[in-house]
Every structure is written in structure tokens, then in C-alpha cells.
Copies of this chain bind each other. A is one copy, B any other.
């Protein structure tokens, strides 16, 4: 539905072979950097440096930032020192740091050699923050103002220094020791009198993040409070950087992907599916499959224990899959609801008793519905003995109840002891609930059917 200016890699390659450079340059200047980067991923490696050099000068750095790491590494290897410096000079510092974090040591050294000493110092500082901290995603390129400036002074300063800043729309007011004392938006500046002092119009009721705060918590603040940028302060409350909303949005999307992968028993990585090789995919999945397989053998032990009962009533075996699946599904529903509620900060520890009460009621309602439907089916369609049907239906009620209680409590418990609640999703819940369902099933069966 949008302005259609996207070309396939084949067309681009064709123009390149035909040396239609000017045409290519025109096409590139009408495209979004993110779309150019996507085309570049599909172009043969050998042509990439040439194509990159055709890009309009003012777009080169933006396209470079949007490319995948393999492409970036390839280009850096092809760049002359001067070219590398040109691209680096145009990049925002937080993007440079992102790239450095993914490059092999030799490439990092070369990048740092091209940076001026001040930038090098700043890069090294950001690199020291842990991977999941606000410090690691912040940029230090913000507009800072002083409280005694006038609005007019502020605009002069923004005009003079704004070119290199990641955002100019929120400006930060610091005292002489770099402590954050206020925030003022360009909107406020524009609507104010040019002679007003910044101290009169700045917002002093501040929200900020600290360098070591979890980046996911910081990102959640953006979605809760609708900020465009959030200041980051160090332990001494000095302003050291800002996080912008585009980076916060990326963090949210990454965390969502991570949660979803963990819920499906996959070790999360930030590599897209199509870029992950067979071996890597195997490595992300096999530990969980192994662990869950071994846990599931305990369920087998339960069956072995009741082998005599099963030998006498082979018909009981036919309901094992249905009971196991239903228990797993019921538990999975509860656990995923809680995991998502925790991730969105909608659920607190103090809600636990309320949650268990609610899940118990929902479980009873679900269990009774399922048991009723199943009893009718067993009587009217399968024509099973009523006592056997009763055993199955009672098991359904008890195991749905157990599944929902286990499903809602384990994620909260996991979070409490410092684990990611997303681990406690369907696969683990299923394994635990399977064992419970089977024990309940055989207990009820041995009592009602007088086996053993």
C-alpha cells in the first residue's frame, strides 16, 4: 500500500553489471535505508563493496547500521581506513557500540583505531555496561542545556549542536557537576517566550533510568508513559546518556521474541530464523528436548507401576493421550496467562492468593464442562461402561484443577527465585501435569474398579 520503490536484488545486480551507476544512485536515494540493507543481504558478497560505494554519501552510514553483521564485517574488510572513518563519523555512538559488540576482536581494533580519542573513550565506557542494562542501549549524543539559558540561547545551542544528536526534541538541563536537574521539550521551547529562562519552563519532576537498570524495565516505561526519550544517570545521579524510543521498541520486540522462544522450550538468541544454521538451531533446541524427554520417563515409571491394573483393564490405556493432552493444555493456558501478565507488569506477587483462587474456580468450571461433554460422548458414541466413564471424567476434573494450579503458581515461583517465568510454560507444565494426571487416573481406577 505504500510508495512502491523497492527493487529486488536481481534487478540491482543487473544494473550493476550494466554499469548503470547513476541510475542505481537515484534508485537508492528514493529508498529507505532499511530496505536498501535488505536488498544488500541478497546480493553476492563480491558486489557488496561496489554497491555500497554507489550509495549517496548521506545515506551510507544509515544503510550500514541497518545491515546484518556478516555484511558489515565484509564491508569493513573492504573499506580503506579513510572510508571506515567516514562511515564511523556519520554513525550515532550507540549504533557503533552495537556493531562493535558483534564483531571479532581484530575488526574491533580496527574500528577503535579510526575513532578519535574522545569517541574511543566513550565507546569503551558503554562497552563496560552489562548486555541487558540501560547503559548498553543508551546514546551519549543528547542536547544538554543550562538552567540560566534563555529559550533563545537554547535554540542557538540546538541549532549549533543538534546536527549530531540522536534526538533534539527532548533537551536535558544539568548543573555544573553534570547532575540532571530538569528536562525541557522542543515543544515547550517553541511555545515559550524567547526571553524565558530555561529554569522557569523546565520539567523538574523527573523520571530516569540508571545505567545498570534492566533494559526491559526501561523499555516498559516507554510503553507505559509514552516518552520519546528517557535520561540515564549513574550512581551519583550524573547524566551519562539517554535512551530513545526506537531503541526501546527494539528491546521490547527482542524480549517478546525471547519470551515466546522460551515458552516453546527453545534457547533464545537474537538471530532471525532464516539466518540461523542447522547446527545452531539444533543447539538451541536439543538441551530442552533431552531434559523434557528424561522428565517424561518418570511418567513412564508411573505406568509401569500400575501395569497390573492396565493389564486387567486395557481399555484404560485408550484414554491416556486425551487425559495427558487436556491436562497439558489446561495448565499451559494458565501458565502463559500468568507469564504474560508478569512480563507486562500487570501481576504482582501480592496477587498470588487471588490468582490461585481464580484459577481454581476457572479450573472447576472447565473441568466440569469437559467431564460432562466427555461423559455424554462416552455413553452415547463410544458406549463405554458407565463406571469406566466415571473414572475418566473424575480424572479430567481433578487433573484440570491440578494443571491450572501448577500452571499459575510455577511462573510466579520462578520469578520469585530469580528465574525467567517464561521457562515455566507449556512444555514443563505438561511434563509435571502428565505425571499428576496419571497418578490420579490410576488411583481413581483402582478404587472404583476394584483392581489390584
Interface residues of chain A, those whose CB is within 8 Å of chain B, are: 1-3, 5, 29-30, 32, 34, 155, 158-159, 162-163, 168-169, 186-187, 190-191, 205-210, 213, 221-226, 228, 245-246, 249-250, 252-253, 256-257, 259-261, 263-266, 272-274, 278-279, 281-282, 285-286, 288-290, 292-294, 296-297, 299-301, 303-304, 307, 310-311, 314-315, 317-322, 324-326, 328-330, 332-333, 335-341, 344, 346-347, 351, 354, 358, 361-362, 365-366, 369-370, 373-374, 377, 400, 425-427, 430-431, 434, 438
Contact = CB atoms under 8 A, between A and B. Distances in A.
B1 A427 contact: no
Nearest to A337: B273
Given A289-B370, A325-B430, 8 more contacts: A3-B205, A34-B225, A249-B252, A264-B336, A292-B325, A293-B370, A296-B326, A300-B321
Nearest to A342: B273
B210 A191 contact: no
A26 B420 CA distance: 38
B322 A297 contact: yes
A361 B29 CA distance: 41
Contacts of A213: 1
A253 B2 contact: no
A340 B260 contact: yes
A292 B329 contact: yes
Contacts of A168: 187, 190
B325 A296 contact: yes
Contacts of A377: 294, 297
A281 B326 CA distance: 17
B162 A288 contact: no
Contacts of A208: 2-3
A299 B278 contact: no
Contact of A252 (B207, B252, B335): B252
A245 B253 contact: no
6 contacts: A32-B207, A273-B338, A289-B329, A289-B400, A300-B319, A321-B324
Nearest to A206: B3
A210 B373 CA distance: 47
Contacts of A338: 273
B310 A314 contact: yes
Contacts of A256: 256, 260
A333 B285 contact: yes
A420 to B, nearest CB: 14
Contacts of A209: 1-2
Contact of A260 (B159, B249, B263): B263
Nearest to A211: B1
A264 B333 contact: yes
A159 B296 contact: no
Q: Closest 3 CB pairs between A and B?
A: A264-B336, A299-B321, A296-B322
Nearest to A361: B278
A261 B337 contact: yes
Contact of A340 (B273, B307, B311, B322): B273
B322 A263 contact: no
A281 B340 contact: no
A374 B293 contact: yes
A296 B222 CA distance: 43
Contacts of A311: 311, 314
Nearest to A168: B187
